[in-house]
Amino acid sequence: MSEIDEALRNELQRQGVWVTSMQELYNWGRKNSIWPLQFGLACCAIEMIATAASRYDIARFGGEVFRPSPRQADLMIVAGTVTKKMAPQIVRLYNQMPDPKYVISMGACAISGGPFKQGYNVLKGIDRYIPVDVYIPGCPPRPEALLHAFMELQRKIDSQKLTGASRAEHLDPAEPSEFPVPSFGEHDLEPPANRDVFHPAKIERQS
């Protein structure tokens, strides 16, 4: 399980011997077979479809198997505007995905509400309820941007540890796998944000 010395690995590789560790093998397999959940919410989903189609071809990265069931998906691409009506369903779908699971927040809408931020029925960012791994800015982000986010996610998966205190969340029994589903309140979703998950950046204003 321990890290392999790079110099030793190169030396061995020159002699035709490949060495690997369980962690590397595990992450290599995971990062090259990320199956996204097949659902789109708004205009960004069109770009997601384009990414999956032949011109941009997400299959090159092992992510072409869009699954219509959360039970078979590893990655949730939140592609589009999340309305408050839709938010509980998204959180529920996320809860139903088996561990390990990842979330890409695609586009200005999924990050913060985007152009519809002032709307009474628009959730101001899906990261209020579920943990997001990669954010892609843009309205809409181009397919290249989604590919970039995908590669970033692969890099993240590749660096996850199998053991130790800093191991991946899904290997830690103390980390939750389900997050509370908000319910419809009188004016807003109840609660308006999950404080355990949502850590908004502090705004510093120059006087």
From the list ligand SF4, other proteins, none, pick the one residue 12 interacts with, judged by a Cβ distance below 5 to 8 Å according to partner type.
none
Applying CB under 8 A, the site for other proteins has a residue count of 20
From the list ligand SF4, other proteins, none, pick the one residue 95 interacts with, judged by a Cβ distance below 5 to 8 Å according to partner type.
other proteins
Round to whole Å and give the CA distance between 109 and 22. Answer: 39
User: Closest CB to ligand SF4 among 23 and 66?
Assistant: 66
**How many CA atoms, within 13 angstroms, populate the side-chain half-sphere of residue 106?**
34
Name the strands in the sheet holding 102-106, side by side, starting at the edge strand that comes first in the sequence.
Answer: 75-79, 102-106, 134-136
From the CB of 57, what's the least distance to other proteins, in Å? 28
From the CB of 123, what's the least distance to other proteins, in Å? 15
Q: Which residues pair with 167 in a beta bridge?
A: 161
Q: What is the dihedral of CA 22, 28, 33, 39, to 10 degrees?
A: 100
| Part in contact with other proteins (CB under 8 A); list of ranges 6-14, 45-53, 129-137, 174-182 | 174-182
CA-angle at 62, arms to 135 and 9, nearest 5°: 95
Q: What's the start-to-end Cα distance of the chain, in Å?
A: 52
From the CB of 152, what's the least distance to other proteins, in Å? 24
Among positions 11, 144, 178, 190, the unique one binding other proteins when judged by CB under 8 A: 178
Which residues are at the interface with ligand SF4 (CB under 6 A)?
A: 42-44, 80-81, 107-109, 114-115, 139-140
Site for other proteins in 34-73 (CB under 8 A): 69-71
Round to whole Å and give the CA distance between 98 and 194. Answer: 21
From the CB of 184, what's the least distance to other proteins, in Å? 12
User: Closest CB to other proteins among 88 and 138?
Assistant: 88
90 near other proteins, judged by CB under 8 A: yes
Round to whole Å and give the CA distance between 13 and 34. Answer: 28
What single string gives the DSSP state of each residue in 104-119?
Answer: EEEHHHHHH-GGGTT-
- Which parts of this chain interact with other proteins (CB under 8 A)? 69-71, 89-90, 92-93, 95-96, 98-99, 162, 170-173, 176-178, 181
